[in-house]
Structure 1
């Protein structure tokens, strides 16, 4: 399997359908959850909703680059989202998250081996490969947080 296909597969595993590394994925953890659970604040931890929005923020920002646009995302805004106040808003967000994730994976699959070695918008950001691999690692990091926060919320309900 070529590198772009391997990266796309790994990305889909963490977001949409895999269990190999973490025995779960974002879709498995977030689908079917109610908005009250995902917006429950525990101490000074980010909520599950904010963590999911944070990952989607970066996916969408990279998708804009794939479409030929500028890199417009900024770390300082990556946790700055309006609150989710209904189940409908949460479900709409999830639909957008899954759709943007599939778009991301499709873009990655279309890259050539050579394109993976090109700089991602600017030399200071490293290569496309580094950014895609970083997105996968970043997603696993926050997936782990989501799993733990869900367990803490569940334990606090008992």
Structure 2
């Protein structure tokens, strides 16, 4: 495993599962959120479910490409989450995120350093490094929003 791959995979896991220097991660932020709280609207903000779905949408998009698939995601659909009207659905949704993140981190670990400069699907999206690092930064951004929404709801 190349050093860059190991570091990016570690950084991805940390924002989702913990161990980063910010002492905040998505799994811990969501562990005590009920489906009712996750659906609760605060002013004109996105709900916790919407933000969580939005985060996983991009995890899935990059994972699909890393697995050899097409990039068929569209930004306009990134908040179009399925209705979750019970705790079981909410918990299963979270579990699917954790599984996808671990799959993506494992794919990143296998990536040779020289591949990070390769174009990610199309030149307009930049290279693999930009997209993987961007996903991590994007997750931190929305993680902060989720933490604030929890404070408002509680």
TM-score by structure 1 length?
Answer: 0.94
Query: Which residue is 2:148 aligned to?
Result: 148
TM-aligned CA deviation for residue 18 of structure 1: 2.5
Q: For this pair of structures, how many residues does the alignment match? A: 153
Alpha-carbon deviations, 1:86-129, whole Å to 9, x = none? 00000100110100010111111110011111010111111100
> What are the residue-to-residue correspondences of 1:31-46 with 2, within 5 Å?
31-46=31-46
Query: Which residue is 1:72 aligned to?
Result: 72
Gaps of 5+ in 2: none
TM-aligned CA deviation for residue 83 of structure 1: 2.0
TM-aligned CA deviation for residue 84 of structure 1: 1.1
Query: Which residue is 1:25 aligned to?
Result: 25
Alpha-carbon separation, structure 1, partners of 2:79 and 2:112: 32
> What are the residue-to-residue correspondences of 1:127-146 with 2, within 5 Å?
127-146=127-146
Gaps of 5+ in 1: none
Q: CA RMSD in A?
A: 1.0
Alpha-carbon separation, structure 2, partners of 1:138 and 1:45: 17
Preserved CA contact (<8 Å) 2:13 2:101: yes
Alpha-carbon separation, structure 2, partners of 1:134 and 1:69: 20
Query: Which residue is 1:15 aligned to?
Result: 16
Query: Which residue is 1:96 aligned to?
Result: 96
Preserved CA contact (<8 Å) 2:11 2:20: no
Alpha-carbon deviations, 1:54-103, whole Å to 9, x = none? 10011011111011011011101001112210000001001101000101
TM-score by structure 2 length?
Answer: 0.96
Query: Which residue is 2:3 aligned to?
Result: 2
Secondary structure at 2:54's aligned position in 1? helix
